[in-house]
Amino acid sequence: MAKEGIIYDLEDRTTEFAKRVIRLCKVIPKNTINFPLIGQSVRSAGSIGANYREANDALGKKDFIHKLKISRKEAKETLHWFELIEESNPELSVRMQELKQENRELINILSAIIRNSTKKNK
């Protein structure tokens, strides 16, 4: 599994990412289109860190990799909701760019951990 320092850094990073998503969602205009987009974005963004934390307490290597894959899946879903928020709220496009970049970085980090952990299993 990951080294202690990396575990806590990524736990903090995923939590901070979810907090940033919450702050963004607070400024999105409330209407029938945005309500479901806001809810889905907050849920999937929060699930990235929640599943990563579960991975760190995994019962074994297979469980660790499985939880990481769920975390990555949630990150990919979050990117989907961001695209829809941006479509619905083009005035937020500039603000969305930073969040989308951080989201892609989290996907890449999780993918690298999965890849490296899977190689060690073989």
Buried b / exposed e along 99-121 (16+ C-beta atoms within 10 A): bbebbeebbebbeebbeebeeee
Tell me the mean pLDDT in the region 60-81.
97
**Residue 119 confidence (pLDDT):** 82
What is the residue range of 105's domain? 4-121
Domain count for the chain, please give it.
1
In which residue are the tokens 């894959």 written? 69
The pLDDT tens digits of the residues spanning 10-59 come to: 999 999 999 999 999 999 999 999 999 999 999 999 999 999 999 999 99
CATH of the domain at 29: 1.20.1440.60
On the question of pLDDT at 120 being above 70, the answer is no
CB 44 within 8 A of CB 81: yes
